Amino acid sequence: MNANTHAPRWALVLLALGLIVVLFGTAAGSQGWQAWWTAEADEVSRQIVLDIRLPRSLGAWLGGALLGLAGAVAQGLFRNPLADPYLLGSASGASLGVSIYLSLWGTTTFVSAWARSGWFGLGLTGTAFLGAVLAVLLTLTLARGVQQTLRLLLAGVVVGVVLGAVTSLISMLQPQVLQAMQGFMLGSTAFVSWSACVTLAVVLAVCLSLSWGFANVLDALSLGESTAQSLGVPLTLARLVLVAVISLATGAAVAHIGLVAFVGLAAPHLVRSLVRCTHAWRLLLSALMGAALLLLADVLARVLLAPQELPVGVLTAVLGGAYLLWRVYRDGKAGDDA
Protein backbone atom coordinates (compact mmCIF):
# COMPACT_ATOMS: atom_id res chain seq x y z
CA MET A 1 0.00 0.00 0.00
CA ASN A 2 1.22 3.51 -0.80
CA ALA A 3 2.60 5.24 2.31
CA ASN A 4 0.70 8.40 1.38
CA THR A 5 -2.72 6.76 1.03
CA HIS A 6 -4.31 8.39 4.07
CA ALA A 7 -2.34 11.66 3.99
CA PRO A 8 -4.80 13.65 1.80
CA ARG A 9 -7.67 12.60 4.07
CA TRP A 10 -5.85 13.88 7.14
CA ALA A 11 -4.99 17.12 5.34
CA LEU A 12 -8.69 17.74 4.68
CA VAL A 13 -9.55 16.90 8.29
CA LEU A 14 -6.98 19.35 9.65
CA LEU A 15 -8.08 22.06 7.23
CA ALA A 16 -11.70 21.60 8.29
CA LEU A 17 -10.68 21.65 11.96
CA GLY A 18 -8.81 24.89 11.41
CA LEU A 19 -11.82 26.50 9.73
CA ILE A 20 -14.14 25.43 12.54
CA VAL A 21 -11.82 26.74 15.25
CA VAL A 22 -11.36 30.03 13.39
CA LEU A 23 -15.13 30.47 13.50
CA PHE A 24 -15.15 29.71 17.21
CA GLY A 25 -12.26 32.12 17.69
CA THR A 26 -14.28 34.97 16.20
CA ALA A 27 -17.09 34.23 18.69
CA ALA A 28 -14.90 33.95 21.82
CA GLY A 29 -15.73 37.02 23.88
CA SER A 30 -18.54 39.08 25.31
CA GLN A 31 -19.99 39.62 21.82
CA GLY A 32 -20.41 36.46 19.78
CA TRP A 33 -21.40 35.78 16.18
CA GLN A 34 -24.46 37.99 16.53
CA ALA A 35 -22.14 40.96 16.11
CA TRP A 36 -21.94 40.07 12.44
CA TRP A 37 -25.54 40.39 11.45
CA THR A 38 -28.03 41.41 14.14
CA ALA A 39 -29.66 44.79 13.98
CA GLU A 40 -28.74 45.44 17.61
CA ALA A 41 -25.03 45.05 16.95
CA ASP A 42 -23.31 48.40 16.55
CA GLU A 43 -20.34 49.27 14.43
CA VAL A 44 -17.94 48.83 17.35
CA SER A 45 -19.06 45.22 17.84
CA ARG A 46 -18.52 44.44 14.18
CA GLN A 47 -15.12 46.11 14.30
CA ILE A 48 -14.14 43.93 17.28
CA VAL A 49 -15.01 40.80 15.34
CA LEU A 50 -13.63 41.80 11.94
CA ASP A 51 -10.55 43.82 12.92
CA ILE A 52 -9.45 42.14 16.16
CA ARG A 53 -10.76 38.59 16.60
CA LEU A 54 -10.66 37.42 12.99
CA PRO A 55 -7.07 38.53 12.24
CA ARG A 56 -6.04 37.21 15.65
CA SER A 57 -7.47 33.77 14.86
CA LEU A 58 -5.98 33.72 11.38
CA GLY A 59 -2.65 34.93 12.76
CA ALA A 60 -2.64 32.12 15.32
CA TRP A 61 -3.37 29.61 12.54
CA LEU A 62 -0.61 30.97 10.30
CA GLY A 63 1.92 31.29 13.12
CA GLY A 64 1.24 27.74 14.25
CA ALA A 65 1.59 26.51 10.66
CA LEU A 66 5.01 28.15 10.39
CA LEU A 67 6.19 26.59 13.66
CA GLY A 68 4.84 23.15 12.71
CA LEU A 69 6.53 23.33 9.32
CA ALA A 70 9.83 24.51 10.83
CA GLY A 71 9.67 21.71 13.39
CA ALA A 72 9.13 19.05 10.73
CA VAL A 73 12.00 20.41 8.64
CA ALA A 74 14.32 20.54 11.67
CA GLN A 75 13.49 16.98 12.75
CA GLY A 76 14.01 15.68 9.22
CA LEU A 77 17.21 17.63 8.62
CA PHE A 78 18.85 16.71 11.94
CA ARG A 79 17.29 13.23 11.99
CA ASN A 80 16.31 13.89 15.59
CA PRO A 81 12.69 13.68 16.83
CA LEU A 82 13.54 16.13 19.64
CA ALA A 83 14.64 18.91 17.28
CA ASP A 84 12.46 22.02 17.38
CA PRO A 85 12.34 25.28 15.39
CA TYR A 86 14.36 27.17 18.02
CA LEU A 87 17.32 24.81 17.76
CA LEU A 88 19.51 27.18 15.73
CA GLY A 89 19.29 30.02 18.26
CA SER A 90 16.49 31.97 16.62
CA ALA A 91 14.41 32.27 19.81
CA SER A 92 17.33 33.60 21.84
CA GLY A 93 18.23 36.01 19.04
CA ALA A 94 14.67 37.33 18.87
CA SER A 95 14.57 37.77 22.65
CA LEU A 96 17.88 39.65 22.60
CA GLY A 97 16.62 41.89 19.80
CA VAL A 98 13.47 42.72 21.75
CA SER A 99 15.42 43.41 24.95
CA ILE A 100 17.86 45.73 23.15
CA TYR A 101 15.01 47.57 21.44
CA LEU A 102 13.16 48.06 24.72
CA SER A 103 16.27 49.20 26.56
CA LEU A 104 16.95 51.81 23.89
CA TRP A 105 13.44 53.05 23.13
CA GLY A 106 11.63 52.56 26.41
CA THR A 107 8.92 50.21 27.64
CA THR A 108 5.95 52.36 28.55
CA THR A 109 3.80 51.48 25.55
CA PHE A 110 4.96 47.91 25.06
CA VAL A 111 1.93 46.01 26.31
CA SER A 112 -0.57 48.02 24.27
CA ALA A 113 1.54 48.52 21.16
CA TRP A 114 3.40 45.26 20.55
CA ALA A 115 2.68 43.95 17.07
CA ARG A 116 0.08 46.65 16.38
CA SER A 117 0.29 48.77 13.27
CA GLY A 118 2.31 51.88 13.94
CA TRP A 119 5.98 52.70 14.28
CA PHE A 120 6.54 51.10 17.70
CA GLY A 121 4.91 47.79 16.89
CA LEU A 122 6.59 47.54 13.50
CA GLY A 123 9.94 48.41 15.01
CA LEU A 124 9.62 45.77 17.71
CA THR A 125 8.44 43.10 15.30
CA GLY A 126 11.21 43.91 12.87
CA THR A 127 13.83 43.85 15.63
CA ALA A 128 12.66 40.43 16.81
CA PHE A 129 12.86 39.06 13.27
CA LEU A 130 16.28 40.64 12.69
CA GLY A 131 17.58 39.20 15.96
CA ALA A 132 16.37 35.72 15.00
CA VAL A 133 18.00 35.87 11.57
CA LEU A 134 21.30 37.23 12.92
CA ALA A 135 21.40 34.48 15.54
CA VAL A 136 21.04 31.82 12.84
CA LEU A 137 23.76 33.50 10.77
CA LEU A 138 26.03 33.42 13.83
CA THR A 139 25.25 29.72 14.22
CA LEU A 140 26.18 29.09 10.59
CA THR A 141 29.42 31.03 11.04
CA LEU A 142 30.43 29.03 14.10
CA ALA A 143 29.48 25.77 12.37
CA ARG A 144 31.50 26.81 9.27
CA GLY A 145 28.55 26.30 7.00
CA VAL A 146 25.98 23.55 6.78
CA GLN A 147 28.17 20.62 5.78
CA GLN A 148 28.35 19.04 9.25
CA THR A 149 24.93 18.45 10.82
CA LEU A 150 26.29 17.69 14.30
CA ARG A 151 28.48 20.80 14.31
CA LEU A 152 25.51 22.90 13.22
CA LEU A 153 23.42 21.43 16.01
CA LEU A 154 26.04 22.12 18.67
CA ALA A 155 26.66 25.64 17.39
CA GLY A 156 22.95 26.39 17.65
CA VAL A 157 22.87 25.22 21.26
CA VAL A 158 25.90 27.38 22.14
CA VAL A 159 24.49 30.46 20.42
CA GLY A 160 21.16 30.01 22.19
CA VAL A 161 22.81 29.77 25.61
CA VAL A 162 25.12 32.76 25.07
CA LEU A 163 22.45 35.07 23.63
CA GLY A 164 20.05 34.01 26.38
CA ALA A 165 22.68 34.98 28.95
CA VAL A 166 23.12 38.40 27.32
CA THR A 167 19.35 38.92 27.40
CA SER A 168 19.29 38.00 31.10
CA LEU A 169 22.12 40.47 31.76
CA ILE A 170 20.21 43.30 30.06
CA SER A 171 17.10 42.42 32.05
CA MET A 172 19.10 42.41 35.29
CA LEU A 173 20.59 45.83 34.58
CA GLN A 174 17.20 47.24 33.48
CA PRO A 175 14.38 45.47 35.38
CA GLN A 176 11.71 47.37 33.45
CA VAL A 177 12.82 45.54 30.30
CA LEU A 178 12.05 42.15 31.86
CA GLN A 179 8.60 43.32 32.91
CA ALA A 180 7.85 44.64 29.45
CA MET A 181 9.15 41.49 27.76
CA GLN A 182 6.73 39.19 29.56
CA GLY A 183 4.17 39.38 26.77
CA PHE A 184 6.81 38.42 24.22
CA MET A 185 8.42 35.66 26.30
CA LEU A 186 5.09 34.01 27.15
CA GLY A 187 3.64 34.35 23.65
CA SER A 188 0.57 36.28 22.60
CA THR A 189 -1.62 36.60 19.51
CA ALA A 190 -3.61 39.51 20.94
CA PHE A 191 -2.12 42.17 18.69
CA VAL A 192 -1.92 40.38 15.33
CA SER A 193 -3.25 42.68 12.61
CA TRP A 194 -4.37 42.09 9.05
CA SER A 195 -0.98 43.28 7.75
CA ALA A 196 0.72 40.72 10.00
CA CYS A 197 -1.56 38.00 8.61
CA VAL A 198 -0.55 38.93 5.06
CA THR A 199 3.14 38.78 6.02
CA LEU A 200 2.75 35.42 7.74
CA ALA A 201 0.79 34.00 4.79
CA VAL A 202 3.46 35.06 2.28
CA VAL A 203 6.25 33.60 4.43
CA LEU A 204 4.30 30.36 4.86
CA ALA A 205 3.79 30.02 1.11
CA VAL A 206 7.49 30.62 0.42
CA CYS A 207 8.72 28.26 3.13
CA LEU A 208 6.27 25.51 2.22
CA SER A 209 7.23 25.71 -1.45
CA LEU A 210 10.97 25.59 -0.72
CA SER A 211 10.74 22.75 1.78
CA TRP A 212 8.40 20.78 -0.51
CA GLY A 213 10.99 21.04 -3.28
CA PHE A 214 13.61 19.35 -1.05
CA ALA A 215 11.30 16.80 0.59
CA ASN A 216 12.99 14.00 -1.36
CA VAL A 217 16.30 14.97 0.25
CA LEU A 218 14.73 14.57 3.70
CA ASP A 219 13.47 11.15 2.64
CA ALA A 220 17.00 10.20 1.61
CA LEU A 221 18.49 11.57 4.84
CA SER A 222 16.14 9.37 6.85
CA LEU A 223 18.09 6.40 5.44
CA GLY A 224 21.39 7.84 6.69
CA GLU A 225 23.76 10.52 5.45
CA SER A 226 26.07 8.08 3.65
CA THR A 227 23.09 6.52 1.87
CA ALA A 228 21.82 9.96 0.86
CA GLN A 229 25.24 10.82 -0.58
CA SER A 230 25.35 7.57 -2.51
CA LEU A 231 21.98 8.42 -4.05
CA GLY A 232 23.45 11.63 -5.41
CA VAL A 233 21.11 14.08 -3.67
CA PRO A 234 22.43 17.68 -3.35
CA LEU A 235 23.02 17.61 0.41
CA THR A 236 24.89 20.92 0.74
CA LEU A 237 22.34 22.92 -1.24
CA ALA A 238 19.47 21.16 0.52
CA ARG A 239 20.90 21.89 3.99
CA LEU A 240 21.40 25.54 3.08
CA VAL A 241 17.85 25.95 1.78
CA LEU A 242 16.26 24.01 4.63
CA VAL A 243 18.17 25.96 7.28
CA ALA A 244 16.95 29.13 5.55
CA VAL A 245 13.39 27.76 5.72
CA ILE A 246 13.71 27.06 9.45
CA SER A 247 15.15 30.53 10.05
CA LEU A 248 12.58 32.42 7.99
CA ALA A 249 9.58 30.49 9.31
CA THR A 250 10.66 30.68 12.94
CA GLY A 251 11.73 34.31 12.73
CA ALA A 252 8.44 35.42 11.17
CA ALA A 253 6.35 33.47 13.68
CA VAL A 254 8.31 34.61 16.74
CA ALA A 255 8.35 38.23 15.59
CA HIS A 256 4.54 38.34 15.44
CA ILE A 257 3.36 36.00 18.21
CA GLY A 258 6.34 35.77 20.57
CA LEU A 259 7.93 32.64 21.99
CA VAL A 260 5.35 29.86 21.78
CA ALA A 261 6.73 26.59 23.10
CA PHE A 262 6.20 22.97 22.01
CA VAL A 263 4.04 23.62 18.93
CA GLY A 264 6.92 23.03 16.52
CA LEU A 265 8.07 20.02 18.53
CA ALA A 266 4.70 18.33 19.11
CA ALA A 267 3.09 18.84 15.67
CA PRO A 268 5.43 16.48 13.73
CA HIS A 269 5.14 13.90 16.53
CA LEU A 270 1.36 13.95 16.26
CA VAL A 271 1.54 13.58 12.48
CA ARG A 272 3.87 10.58 12.72
CA SER A 273 1.55 8.95 15.24
CA LEU A 274 -1.47 9.40 12.96
CA VAL A 275 -0.23 8.55 9.48
CA ARG A 276 2.75 7.03 7.69
CA CYS A 277 3.81 9.22 4.79
CA THR A 278 6.79 10.65 2.95
CA HIS A 279 8.26 14.01 3.93
CA ALA A 280 6.37 15.84 1.19
CA TRP A 281 3.09 15.09 2.95
CA ARG A 282 4.62 15.18 6.44
CA LEU A 283 5.70 18.78 5.97
CA LEU A 284 2.22 19.85 4.88
CA LEU A 285 0.47 17.87 7.60
CA SER A 286 2.86 19.19 10.28
CA ALA A 287 2.08 22.74 9.18
CA LEU A 288 -1.66 22.06 9.36
CA MET A 289 -1.28 20.30 12.70
CA GLY A 290 0.77 23.15 14.16
CA ALA A 291 -1.84 25.62 12.92
CA ALA A 292 -4.65 23.67 14.58
CA LEU A 293 -2.71 23.26 17.86
CA LEU A 294 -1.86 26.93 18.27
CA LEU A 295 -5.32 28.06 17.23
CA LEU A 296 -6.97 25.69 19.71
CA ALA A 297 -4.60 26.84 22.45
CA ASP A 298 -5.36 30.48 21.63
CA VAL A 299 -9.11 29.96 21.90
CA LEU A 300 -8.70 28.04 25.15
CA ALA A 301 -6.46 30.78 26.54
CA ARG A 302 -9.27 33.28 25.94
CA VAL A 303 -12.14 31.27 27.42
CA LEU A 304 -10.73 29.22 30.30
CA LEU A 305 -10.48 32.13 32.76
CA ALA A 306 -12.64 34.67 30.92
CA PRO A 307 -12.69 37.64 31.14
CA GLN A 308 -9.01 37.19 32.05
CA GLU A 309 -6.73 35.76 29.38
CA LEU A 310 -3.95 33.21 29.76
CA PRO A 311 -0.69 33.64 27.79
CA VAL A 312 -0.97 31.22 24.90
CA GLY A 313 2.67 30.18 25.29
CA VAL A 314 2.01 28.97 28.82
CA LEU A 315 -0.91 26.85 27.66
CA THR A 316 1.03 25.29 24.77
CA ALA A 317 3.94 24.53 27.12
CA VAL A 318 1.67 22.77 29.62
CA LEU A 319 -0.33 20.81 27.04
CA GLY A 320 2.61 20.07 24.77
CA GLY A 321 4.86 19.07 27.65
CA ALA A 322 2.19 16.77 29.07
CA TYR A 323 1.71 15.13 25.67
CA LEU A 324 5.42 14.54 25.13
CA LEU A 325 5.85 13.14 28.66
CA TRP A 326 2.98 10.75 27.97
CA ARG A 327 4.62 9.69 24.70
CA VAL A 328 7.94 9.06 26.45
CA TYR A 329 6.19 7.03 29.16
CA ARG A 330 4.16 5.01 26.63
CA ASP A 331 7.14 4.30 24.38
CA GLY A 332 9.28 3.33 27.38
CA LYS A 333 6.59 0.99 28.68
CA ALA A 334 6.19 -0.57 25.23
CA GLY A 335 9.95 -1.11 25.11
CA ASP A 336 9.96 -2.78 28.53
CA ASP A 337 7.09 -5.06 27.54
CA ALA A 338 8.95 -6.07 24.39
Q: Which pLDDT band holds residue 36 (cuts at 50, 70, 90)?
A: low
Q: Tens digit of pLDDT for each residue in 79-127? A: 888 888 898 888 899 888 888 888 877 654 444 444 443 334 446 778 8
Residue 338 has pLDDT above 70, yes or no: no
Task: Report the predicted TM-score, pTM, of the whole model to 2 decimal places.
Answer: 0.87
Q: Tens digit of pLDDT for each residue in 222-236? A: 887 777 777 777 888
Domain locations along the chain: 7-337
User: What's the count of helices (H) and strands (E) in the chain, helices before strands?
Assistant: 16, 0
Q: Which pLDDT band holds residue 3 (cuts at 50, 70, 90)?
A: low
**Residue 333: its pLDDT value, please?**
65
Q: Which pLDDT band holds residue 55 (cuts at 50, 70, 90)?
A: very high
CATH class of the structural domain 7-337: mainly alpha
